[in-house]
Amino acid sequence: MSLGRRGFLQFCLGAGAGITFSPLPWKLMDDSAIWTQNWPWTPVPPGGEVSIEKTACTLCPGGCGITVRKVKDRAIKIEGMKGHPINDGGVCLLGMSALYKLYGGARIKGPLKRAGKRGEGKWEQIPWNAAIAEISKELNQKRQDGLSHTVASMTGTDRGTVPQLFKRLLAAYGSPNVFTAPSLQDSERLALKLMQGDYASAGYDLENARYVVSFGASIIDGWGSPVRAFRAHTRWAEKAAEGAKLVQVEACLSNTAAKADTWLTIKPGTEAALALGLAHVIIKEKSYNKAFIRDYCLGFEDWQDSGGTVHKGFKQSVLKEYSPDAVSRITGVPADRISVIAREFAQAKGALAVWGRGKGTRPMAVHDIMAIHALNALVANINKPGGVTVLPDVTTVPWPSLVQDDIAKSGTKQPRVDRAGTDAFPLSESLFDQLPKLIKGGTGEYPLSVLLVHGANPYYTEHDRTAVAEALDRIPFIVSFSSRMDETANHADLILPNHTSLERYEDVPTPISSSLPVMSLSRPVVSPQCDTRHVGDSLIAIAKSLDGSVAESFPWDDYESLLKATLGDKWSVLEKEGYWKDEGYTPADWSQAFRNASGKFEFLATTLLAGAKSAKDCLPQYSRAKLKGEEFMYPLILIPCESMRLADGPVANSPLMTKTVADTVLKNDDLCVEVNPKTAIAHGLTDERMALLSTPKGKAKVKIHLFDGIQPGVVAIPTGLGHTAYDDYLKGKGVNSNDLIGMIEDEASGLDIAWGSRASLKSI
Ligand code: SF4
C-alpha cells in the first residue's frame, strides 16, 4: 500500500486524535504513576477506603458525566461516567485536569484584597466577613448615589443556576448590565430565532446523521462535547459502506479534517458562500424537499410587499448570486467539487450541515449561520432522526417573585451600557465585546463603576486583548470569584474564591449540540481544600447584606437549598444517577415546530424586515469580512487554530495537557505558527527559525513550522497559550493569539465575529 503526503498527514493526525480517546494514555499514566511512586517527593495518597462518586464535569460546556475514584477524602482518578447520555464513559484531557485544578498550583486559598497596583500580584488576605463587607459597602454607596445601574456582572455563560443568581442580584439591586462572555450560542440563538422563532440552542442528532458537512466545526477536536462527537464519528466510519460520510470545510488540516472522508480546503471566512453555492446546485437541480419547502417554509419564492414591490426570495437570490463558478472564486473550492458535494448532500439520508468554527465557542455572523442552516431546510432534515432540532430548556421549579424597590426599578430601566437590546442592536441580549470601544471612546451611555466576574476571564479570552484590558482597567472596582489566579483575578481589587468543580454543587443544563434535553449534577466529591466558598453562597450573603429590598429576593439560607428547591423532583434523580434525561423527548412535527408569527421555517427573516436597509438583508447571505490593515503591509491571513490539547477559554491548561502539546506547536517557550512551504519561499521564511508576526493589532515573535496542510497565504496560530497569570506551568509560554486578532463586528447582532486577521511574517 502506498501512502501519499495527504494519507500520511491523515494517518498521523488521526492517530493523534484517536490516542486522546483510546486507553493508551491511561495505560501510560498508570505506568508512570507506578514508576513515580519511587520518587520520595511524590505525594502518595493515604491508604484507606476506596470509593467512587458520580458527578459532572464543568470545565467546558460539553456536559459530560464523570466518576471520581477516591481514597478516603482524596480524589485520585477521573473517568467518564458509563451510561451518561452525552459521553458514555469517555473523558477528555481537560476533564481529567479537574484533579490539577483541585490540588495544583495557582489556587486562591482564601479571600484577597489588592495591596499593590492592579496586576502587580500583591495581595492582603482578609476574612470572609470583611470581603463581603467590602462589596456591600461599595454597592450600598452606589445605590445611595443613584448609580446602581453602573454596577455590572459578567459570567461565562447565561445557563444554569449561578448565572441566574447573578441576573437576579443585579435586577433586585438595580442594574440592567448583566453580561455573558460572547459565545457561539449568542449568534446561534439569534439565527434560530429568526428562522424558526425559538431563541434556543441547536441540538444535533449526530449519532444518526449519515452525511455531515461541517463548516469549520472541529467535530472531533473539541467541538460541543468532543467525547460524544468522537463516538459519533466512529459510528459514521462503521457505516461508511452505507454512504456515511464527514465532509470537513476548513482552511487547514485539523484533526477533524484529517479524519474526514473529504476535506474541502477553503479561504478562511468564506464558509457561508460555500453553503449558498451548495444550495444553488440543490435548487437548480430541483433536488430539495419540495413538500417541506411548499408547506412549511416562507421566503423561498419571490414575494410582494404591501406596496406591491416584488422581492427576490431565497431561490432566486441564490440562483443569481451563488453559482458554483462564482462561489469558487470567493472560496477557492473548485466548482466541480461544489457540485459533487451538493448532489451527495441532497441525496443522502440524514444529511446534516453543522456550524461553529473550531470548538464552536466564538460567535459567528448571524447570516452565516442562516446560510448553513438553510441547507438543513432544503433537505428537510429538521426535527428528524439524524437532523437538527431546537431543544427546549429542562423545566425547573419557578423561582419566587423578584422584589424591586424604587431604586431597583429605576436602575434596571436605564439603557444597557453595551447597547444590547437598544435600537442599535435590538436582537442581542449581551454584547460584552462592544464595551472596550464604548468605554475607551467615552461613547457609552455612562461609565461602569463595579464589575463582578465569574466563570470568565476577559483579560485573556477576548480579541484585541490590550483594548479590553485598557477598558476594564477604567472600571474602579472589579471583583473576581475565580478559584485560580487567572488574568482577570490578577487585575481584580477583591477576590472571593469559588470552590473548584470537584468541591461544589452545580447544575449542568443541556450541553451544546445535545440531541435531547439532559441535565447533570456536579457535586462536591471532596471537602474544600482551601478557605473558599461556593460563588452562590457568596452572592446570597452579598444580597442579604445590601440595603433596600434586595435581600427579599433571596429567601434561601444557602446555594444548596436554592438548588434543591428549584430543581424540584429532579433533585433526587440527579443525586442518585448524576444526570436526568428526557427519555420521552421527540422533536415537534413540522406543523408545530416553527414558532415565529408565520408558523413556518423562514428563509426570509420577517423579524428583520422592519429595520432592514433592503429585503435582501433578511435572507441568508455571505458578506465579505472587512479585515483591518492594508494588504500590501499585511499580505497574509492569520487564523486561530484550536486544539483539544490546549484549553483556550476561561479554564486554562493543566501541566498534563501542556505536556501533550507537540514540539511543532510549542518549542520550549516559543510558539510555532503553521506556514505552507510555498508561503515560506515567497516571504523568505525558514522552518524552525524565528519570525516577527505582525497584525494591525500587535506583534509577536514566533517560530516557523512548515506544514503542507495549511493553505498558501494563510498562517495558523495555536490558541490557549501566552498566559500572563496562573503558575509557572502556564505563564510566559507562547503567545496569546487574542493579542493579534481584532474585533470584526457583525452588523446584524453587534457580536465580535472575528475569525482571523491580516498579517505579515518577517524572518528575524
Ligand atoms: S468535553 Fe468538556 S465536559 Fe466533557 S470531559 Fe472534557 S472538559 Fe469535561
Q: Is residue 64 within 6 Å of ligand 1 at its C-beta?
A: yes
Sheet of strand 518-522, all strands in order from the earlier edge strand to the far edge: 506-508, 518-522, 579-581
Look at residue 15 and tell me whether its pLDDT is greater than 50. Answer: no
What integer is the mean pLDDT of 698-702? 97
Q: How confident is the model at residue 441 (pLDDT cuts 50, 70, 90)?
A: low
Residue 225 confidence (pLDDT) = 78
State which of 20, 60, 660 you would mutate to test the pocket of ligand 1, scoring each by most atoms of that ligand within 8 A of its C-beta. Answer: 60
Is the minimum distance from the CB of 81 to ligand 1 under 6 angstroms? no
Does any ligand 1 atom lie closer than 6 A to the CB of residue 225? yes
Task: Specify whether the CB–CB gap between 210 and 243 falls below 8 A.
Answer: yes
Backbone dihedral angles phi then psi of residue 552, each to the nearest 5 degrees: -65, -25
CA of 97 to the centre of ligand 1 (A): 10
Give 475-495 pLDDT, tens digit per residue.
Answer: 999 999 999 999 999 999 999
Give the Cβ contact number of residue 261 at 10 Å.
Answer: 15
- Closest ligand 1 atom, CA of 86? 4
Burial class (CB in 10 A: 0-12, 13-18, 19+), 681: exposed
Q: Which are the contacts of 630, defined by CB distance < 8 A and separation ≥ 6?
A: 758
Q: Is 651 in the pocket of ligand 1 (CB under 6 A)?
A: no
Cβ(304)–Cβ(615) under 8 Å?
Answer: no
DSSP notation for 79-126: EEPTT-TTTTT---HHHHTHHHHHHSTTB--S-EEE-SSTTS--EEE-
Closest-CA residue, ligand 1 atom 8, reads: 95
204: enclosing H helix or E strand: strand 202-204
- To the nearest whole number, what is the mean pLDDT of the chain? 91
Q: Which atom of ligand 1 is nearest to the CA of 58?
A: 3
pLDDT tens column, 548-598: 999 999 999 999 999 999 999 999 999 999 999 998 899 999 999 999 999
Q: Would you say the CB of residue 657 lies under 6 angstroms from ligand 1?
A: no
**N residues, the chain:** 764
Please compute the mean of the pLDDT values over residues 22-39 and round it to a whole number.
52
Is residue 29's pLDDT more than 80?
no
Which domains, from first to last, does the chain contain?
Answer: 202-390+599-618 (3.40.228.10), 636-763 (2.40.40.20)
Bridge partners of residue 714, in order along the sequence: 637
Q: Residue 730 has which C-alpha cell?
A: 502556564
Has residue 635 got a pLDDT over 50? yes
pLDDT tens-digit profile of 291-328?
A: 999 999 999 999 999 899 999 999 999 999 999 999 99
pLDDT tens per residue, range 122-149: 999 999 999 999 999 999 999 999 999 9
pLDDT of the residue at 3: 36
Spell 647-670 as b/e; 16+ CB within 10 A means b: bbbbbbbbebbbebbeeebbeeee
Q: Which atom of ligand 1 is nearest to the CA of 96?
A: 5
